[in-house]
Amino acid sequence: MSPTPRLVILGRDGILNAFREDHVKDPAEWRPLPGALEAVARLNHAGWHVVVATNQAGIGRGMFDMASLNAVHAQMMKLLAAQGGRIDAVFFCPHAPEEHCDCRKPLPGMMLDIARRYGVDLRTVPMVGDTLRDLLAAQAAGCEPHLVRTGRAAALDAEQLARYAEQVPSMQVHADLGAFADHLLRREHPDAPDSGPGGLA
C-alpha cells in the first residue's frame, strides 16, 4: 500500500495568479503572481503534493467553456514546469451560485472529493485562499485554513481581518504564497534558514 501523500490545497485566482473581476477566460489572461510559481516548486521539492480547488462560475454563466478552462490550466502547468514545479490536479466547481450545488466554496464538496481521491485526512491538509469563502470552506472540510494577503485579501483592513478571525478562529495569515511556503517548510524544519519573507501571523 502506498503511503498517504503530503498534500496542500490552493485556490487559484488571487493565490497563484492575478484575480480578475471579469474572470480568467483564456490563457493570455492567466498572469502568475510574483513568486507564486516558485513557491509551488519549493513545496514540491520538499515532498508536498499540490492540488487546486477553484470556483469557476464563469462556466455556469456562459462566459467561457471547458475548452477555454483547459487551455488556461495548460498554460498554468507550462509556466509552473518552467519553474520546476507541478500541480497534481485541478478540482473546479463550474456552477453559478444560483445553481446551489454542493461543490462551490464555501461548501466543502471539492475538498471532500480531494480527500477521497488521495486518501488523506483533511485535518493534516493546509488549504490556502484569499477570501472568507475559502477560509469557511477549509474550516467546513476540516483543513488548516490559511489566508494570503494577495488577490481579494490585499485590501482587507485590520477590522475586516478581525471579523474573518472571529468566523475562522484557526486561520493563519501570510503575505503571499511564498510566505505560506516558508511557514510550512519552517514548521517541518525549524532550524532551516528562511528563503523569503515570513508570514504575517
Q: Is the predicted pLDDT of residue 1 greater than 80, yes or no?
A: no
Q: pLDDT averaged over the chain?
A: 93
**Is the pLDDT score of 175 beyond 80?**
yes
Beginning with the edge strand found earlier in the chain, give each strand of the sheet holding 144-148 in spatial order. Answer: 89-93, 48-55, 6-10, 126-129, 144-148, 172-174
pLDDT in tens, 76-131: 999 999 999 999 999 999 999 999 999 999 999 999 999 999 999 999 999 999 99
Average pLDDT of 28-33? 97
- Give pTM, 2 decimals: 0.92
Check residue 190 and give its pLDDT. Answer: 76
Using the CB atoms, write b or e for 94-113: b if 16+ within 10 Å. bbbeeeeeebbbbbbbbbbe
Distance of alpha carbon 189 from alpha carbon 183, whole angstroms: 10
d(CA 42, CA 36): 10
Residue 8's pLDDT is 98
- Can you give the length of the chain in residues? 201
Average pLDDT over residues 161-170: 97
| Structural domains of the chain ordered from first start | 6-188 (3.40.50.1000)
Mean per-residue pLDDT for 154-175?
97
- What pLDDT sits at residue 2? 62
Q: How far apart are CA 157 and CA 42, in angstroms?
A: 30
Mean pLDDT computed over 180-184: 97
- pLDDT at residue 65 greater than cutoff 50: yes
Query: Which tops the pLDDT comparison, 131 or 189?
Result: 131
Q: How confident is the model at residue 192 (pLDDT cuts 50, 70, 90)?
A: low
At 201, the pLDDT band (50, 70, 90 cuts) reads very low
In 20-171, DSSP assigns E strands to 48-55, 89-93, 126-129, 144-148
